[in-house]
Amino acid sequence: MLKHAVIPFLVGASLLASAPFAQAATNLVFCSEGSPAGFDPGQYTTGTDFDATAETMFNRLSQFERGGTAVVPGLATRWDISEDGLSYTFHLREGVKFHTTPYFKPTRTFNADDVLFTFNRMIDKDMPFRKAYPTEFPYFTDMGMNTNIKNIEKIDDLTVKFTLGSVDAAFIQNMAMSFASVQSAEYAAQLLKDGKPGEINQKPIGTGPFVFKSYQKDSNIRYTGNKDYWKPEDVKIDNLIFAITTDPSVRIQKLKKNECQITLFPRPADLKALSEDKALKMPHQAGFNLGYIAYNVMPVLKGRTDANPLAKLEVRQAMDMAVNKQQIIDSVYQGAGQLAKNAMPPTQWSYDDTIQDAPYNPEKAKELLKKADIKEGTEITLWAMPVQRPYNPNAKLMAEMLQSDWAKIGLKVNIVSYEWGEYIKRSKGGENQAMIIGWSGDNGDPDNWLNVLFGCDSLGGNNFSKWCDKPYDAIIKQAKATSDVAKRTELYKQAQHLLKDAVPYTPIANSTVYQPMRTTVQDFKISPFGLNSFYGVSVSK
């Protein structure tokens, strides 16, 4: 990956040197950290993908307020919920225009047909468009929405009714998430007619504040401000460029030279110098996130024939108590994170503060491995992320420290990595053994942690541990099916204890999120969900 890091820097430098393009008040360059896997937000689960798609080009029926977790109207101006909590009627915004581009010119405004297409495509594998362009929608299915949504009815052009099979207390929050971005049914019909349905993932059309212009993999993404946006006061940038820059040191160099005006994920070692630069500002806040190690508990890993030692509870317990977390916090996070002991951050309601870590104890870990009949020198593969994320500033260093920790209890650890999109794809397929990963909350609901990361419905998605426990799953499903917050809290606390005892993961840290930017950037809001949005943002001279 590092060999690619210089390319976008050189491209960006030449672009900016040739004209004062990025310096103009209505233009902004964002130094992003990686290439998106595609441009159809329903297909993906990472912030890298959502920043480039949902946060720029699309809208949802409900949306989160900028910089917060409260739900506000989006493409729906309001919604009605039936007394039994099973029906949601959305009243759609009138006159919203889809993007006009060289490859698509809409003949009508947004209506109920677009909502039906968007969600029926995720539910019905026999839908003509889905059959012509087979793909999966992991986030949608991770939360069981593909089975719980029983019917979507068009009442009229501006009214849509969703009927659920069981109460989903987080339904409105879920509908505000990136994967629920609304697509154009008219554009999909054109692609299907032309025999090019896959272009929905390459040439996106949305209703959002920015319009897709061009993409060069590992180099840049270009957007133009949507002059027809339904909320015109949110479009203050004429041209938005994502300068894809994987190396954090190069991102900082470009920020200091004003070759980009905002970036993300600074290295902890750079924080002091950045905060002292008068041309920069450094807003920060406690991250709504978790960096952790996932242990694949499958008896045999995909692509292998030998037994997986991590399938044994004693092995996972041993590896967990052999991790010197405090050293990792000191070396990897360098003061920009706090020790994590639970499957979600302390700021998440229903967090159980009685959960405690097993003490760091390499000697006891050795005894557990011996009890599990694990011989000294047994090989373990540890996957290390190739990118920085809000929850982990340096996965490579963390991997090396874990390698050392586990060597002390007799395990031989081999570190491997892949390009980010491949890393996620392979791990969702179950190829990983131990892996470094993490999560930034998406909707402010406990279900987004306990179900999405460890529920049985998520086995093909973000449940990288491939851990499915029926009693645990019954509890989190019961919690999701009631709107009583006190009852939900009680159930989620029970689930947290079951999860801790099973050790499908080792929590490491809840990090502090820093967002370096030029002082000329105005009204940028740090998202609690680890996303980067530029609607409402401006750049002063």
Q: Does domain 36-206 correspond to CATH entry 3.90.76.10?
A: yes
Domains 1-35+217-283+515-541 and 289-513 share a fold: no
In the prediction, which pLDDT does 14 show? 38
| Encoded tokens for 16 | 């900016």
Confidence of residue 407 (pLDDT cuts 50, 70, 90): very high
Rounded Cα distance, 309 and 248, in Å: 35
Q: Are strands 289-295 and 505-514 parallel, antiparallel or unpaired?
A: antiparallel
- Provide the residue ranges of all domains of the chain, joining segments of one domain with +: 1-35+217-283+515-541, 36-206, 289-513
pTM of the model: 0.81
Between CA 530 and CA 533, with CA 532 as vertex, the angle to 5 degrees is 135
Is pLDDT of 1 > 80?
no
CB distance 28 to 255 below 8 Å: no
Rounded Cα distance, 320 and 507, in Å: 9
Closest by CA position to 164, among listed 180, 184, 144: 144
Confidence of residue 421 (pLDDT cuts 50, 70, 90): confident
236-248: per-residue pLDDT in tens? 999 999 999 999 9
Mean pLDDT of 180-195: 98
Q: For all residues of the chain together, what is the average pLDDT?
A: 93
Rounded Cα distance, 428 and 296, in Å: 11
Rounded Cα distance, 163 and 488, in Å: 22
Is pLDDT of 22 > 70?
no
Confidence of residue 416 (pLDDT cuts 50, 70, 90): very high
Report residue 351: phi and psi, to 5°: -55, 130
227-283: per-residue pLDDT in tens? 999 999 999 999 999 999 999 999 999 999 999 999 998 988 899 999 999 999 999
Report, at the CATH architecture level, how domain 289-513 is classified: Roll (3.10)
Is pLDDT of 206 > 90?
yes
Confidence of residue 541 (pLDDT cuts 50, 70, 90): confident
Confidence of residue 189 (pLDDT cuts 50, 70, 90): very high
Residues forming beta bridges with residue 222, ordered by sequence position: 214, 241
Q: C-alpha dihedral over 298, 439, 337, 364, to 10 degrees? A: -10
Confidence of residue 309 (pLDDT cuts 50, 70, 90): very high
Mean pLDDT of 459-473: 96
Residues forming beta bridges with residue 289, ordered by sequence position: 440
336-354: per-residue pLDDT in tens? 899 999 999 999 999 999 9
Q: b/e map of 216-252 (b: 16 or more CB within 10 Å)?
A: eebbbbbbbbbeebbeeebbbbebbbbbbbbbbebbb
| Encoded tokens for 228 | 């027809």
Mean pLDDT of 387-402: 93
3-state secondary structure of 487: helix
Largest distance between two CA atoms of the chain: 70
Rounded Cα distance, 210 and 227, in Å: 9
CB distance 35 to 218 below 8 Å: yes
Under CATH, domain 1-35+217-283+515-541 is a member of which superfamily? Periplasmic binding protein-like II (3.40.190.10)
CB distance 169 to 488 below 8 Å: yes
In the prediction, which pLDDT does 389 show? 86
